[in-house]
Chain A
Amino acid sequence: MRLPSRRILRHPAGRYAFGGGLGALAVLVRALLPLRGDIAIYSTCIVAIVIAASYAGRGPGYLANAVSALGVGVVFLSRRPSGMPLVERAFGLVLFVAAGVVVAEFVATRRRTELALRESEDRFRSMAENISDIVWIVQISPERMLYVSPSYERLWGRTLRDLYADPRHWIAGIHADDRARIEAAFSDWMTGARADYDVEYRVVRPDGTTAWINARGTLIRDANGKPYRASGIATDITERKRMEKQIRAGEELWRATFDNNPTMYFMVDAAGTVLSINGFAAEQLGYSVAELRGRPIAEVVLEDDRDAAKRELARCLEQLGQAVGWELRKVKKDGTVIWVRAWARAVNGPSGTPIVLVACEDISEAKRAEEALAAAEAELAHVSRVTTLGELTASIAHEVNQPLGAIGTNAAACVRWLAANNLDEAKRCAEQIKADSVRAGEIVRRIRELAKKAPPRKQPLDAADVCREVVALARAELQRKHVALHIELPSDALPIVGDRVQLQQVILNLLVNAIEAVTGDEGPRDVWVTSERNADQVTIAVRDSGPGLDPAITDRLFRPFYTTKPHGMGMGLAISRSIVEAHGGRLSAAPGEPRGALFRMTLPTAAAATVA
């Protein structure tokens, strides 16, 4: 029945007008129809109530009831067509009104239920048919597709009709590699052999494109718990799969980089336990990753270096975020020791506790080369030292001969005094002999020390003392060449740290050069050896009154094999500079004032050297 316009029924006023109008229409129609009998009086009214209640609801039904009852009552009852007594007619009217209420109530309730049902079904449909997922309901036995949402056509590229015709038609669209697995899983789930249904598979559409599907299902059970329907959702997860693949590829790339990068990586906690280690590090140390993970990192550190490593780790943790570098020795599983350069940085880990990231590089080769170089340098320094001593041989022999001569003379005097029985005088001579032999021994000791080949040994020294010893060795040479030496040393000690022999070698070298410079021409023959302290530096300077340095060669002076001497090796100054630099100092040349050359060596004081 399409009688009432839906627009009218959408408004309450329209619905009541509809109900009232129908009531009035029923009275009119009844008046025009030639119907007889009491019941028949109300027949059109009942029709009006039913229509009003079913299309417009309970209220309009009541209104139709009231209007028609009023109309019939007023119009027909007053005319007494059947001659029925008024009381009976009134009773009949009341009865009709009551019956109308019941009918209106009944019809309106049914209408509401229907409306609710339709609304719910509409909601389900609009949901099922608008989401991109496929919603489906299958009857289990016999297997029949009850509902599948239209997204199926888009995802599978197959028609709904085919699927309704064959409830397993969707399986035909599954990728050949996945088909058997999914079919088995679905059948097992439907028959109860499998508890749940949550699977991923690929669908190949007839046009050849592929989609990844995630399907999940639920069984709907009857009162006895027996499944009679299955429903589920199939979701397109192609995009998610693509991203997962991308993330996995990224992770694999990262992992491969981490593991294969030729740098040893460790991640340790504040206690020094290995949280993570890369494949390369484990391989270099001869372990497997699993063997080292969870172990204290100290286990792969050489025992002698463990304390230092612990300190550096603590330093890292103190200076969160700052890179700290140091060198240490690690021990491989087979006991081989390797030198590594470590760079570490502590950061706050994911759980808020600090972790230390350590990268180590094997520098064993470089260390070996360094050691070999140091050995070669020491060897060269020794050769150069002995060469310098060789240049001084004549003077040194003279220097030793002096006390020896005095000893011989004193011994002769002693013998004479003894012969004369003058024991006091004899004793005095003997004491002098003793003192001179000590002096001769001192000279020999100095020479032996300089000539000796020993590894460099750093110790606290007094720079003034070092100068005095060298001067004592060169004294004879200075005399022989008629060179006046002026020594200016402070009475206070000049504390430095270094290798005595090597530093003496440098000063001796500068002194011998100075002597040669002043004896080359007819000018004055003066050499100054001075030492002083400026703040945290000790300066030792050797100045001469010679012709000075040609400014053009000043920068070449310290190069190896550069020499101005006919028989020089050209190593003296080069070695001297490398010795001074190894002591954390500098060796430089400058013009002397008013003439000559000035060689100045600056070294950190003992206090400054310790800090550094």
Chain B
Amino acid sequence: MTSRRVPGTSTIAVVDDDASVRGAIQALLRSAGLDAEVFASAEEFLGSGRLAATTCLILDIRMPGMSGIELQERLLASGHRIPIIVITAHADDDERARALERGAIDCLQKPFDDDALFDAIGKASGAAAP
């Protein structure tokens, strides 16, 4: 996976098993001048060593292996307080509620409106700021 990091700007990570989806999100963020690192799985993200540098995590819930919810729980448990925007391709109110419960900034349903994503990112950067 390619991961780009522009020094001095906040780092957004995208974790989604679907290459098209994470590619599209990366493209959208770049069109707004935001750089993003993409990961194909929760495991890949956890093993990347980029947790501390990540200021916002755009996370797919349903993935093979570790799911988005599990990753969220893992981060909470290990004390990483990365603002998380959950995206899901499925209108599953239960999952949505669980994500928000665990402190997700927002839960967007695919296909989502780009403005909604940027709003959430804006909220996340606010939340991330000490």
Contact = CB atoms under 8 A, between A and B. Distances in A.
14 contacts: A398-B62, A405-B87, A405-B110, A409-B24, A409-B117, A410-B27, A413-B28, A413-B31, A432-B20, A432-B27, A479-B63, A480-B90, A482-B67, A484-B64
B77 interface: no
A430 to B, nearest CB: 11
Contact of B110 (A408, A413, A478, A484): A408
Considering residues B18, B32, B67, B87, which has the most beta carbons from chain A within 10 angstroms of its beta carbon?
Answer: B18
A402 B24 contact: no
Given A402-B20, A408-B113, A479-B64, 5 more contacts: A394-B90, A401-B89, A405-B87, A417-B31, A432-B20
A409 B67 contact: no
Interface of A: 394, 397-398, 401-410, 412-414, 416-417, 420, 422, 425, 428-429, 432, 435-436, 439, 478-480, 482, 484
Nearest to A483: B64
Given A401-B89, A402-B18, A416-B28, A432 B111 contact: no
A401 B62 contact: no
The 5 closest A-B pairs by CB, nearest first: A405-B110, A408-B111, A412-B114, A409-B24, A416-B31
Considering residues B64, B65, B90, B111, which has the most beta carbons from chain A within 10 angstroms of its beta carbon?
Answer: B111
B25 A409 contact: yes
B90 A412 contact: no
B111 to A, nearest CB: 3
Interface in B85-130: 87, 89-90, 110-114, 117
B35 interface: no
B90 A405 contact: no
Contact of B21 (A409, A480, A484): A409
Contacts, number: 94
A405 B24 contact: yes
A407 B114 CA distance: 12
Contacts of A480: 62, 90
Given A413-B30, A428-B27, A432-B20, A405 B114 contact: no
A435 B23 CA distance: 12
A418 to B, nearest CB: 9
A292 to B, nearest CB: 71
Category for how many chain B residues contact A: 20 to 34
A475 to B, nearest CB: 9
Interface in B46-75: 62-65, 67
B28 A409 contact: yes
Nearest to A408: B111
Contacts of B27: 409-410, 413, 425, 428-429, 432
A403 B31 contact: no
Considering residues A397, A413, A417, A428, which has the most beta carbons from chain B within 10 angstroms of its beta carbon?
Answer: A413
Contact of B23 (A414, A417, A432, A479): A432
Nearest to B18: A402
B37 interface: no
Nearest to B32: A416
Given A405-B24, A405-B112, A420 B31 contact: yes
Nearest to B89: A401
Nearest to B67: A482
B89 A402 contact: yes
Nearest to A422: B31
A479 B24 contact: no
A436 B21 CA distance: 9
Interface in B1-51: 17-18, 20-21, 23-25, 27-28, 30-32
Contacts of B65: 482, 484
Contacts of B21: 402, 405-406, 409
A316 to B, nearest CB: 62
Contact of A436 (B20, B32, B112): B20
Given A394-B90, A413-B31, A432-B27, A408 B112 contact: yes
B62 A412 contact: no
A404 B20 CA distance: 10
Contacts of A428: 27
Nearest to A485: B64
Contacts of A429: 24, 27, 31
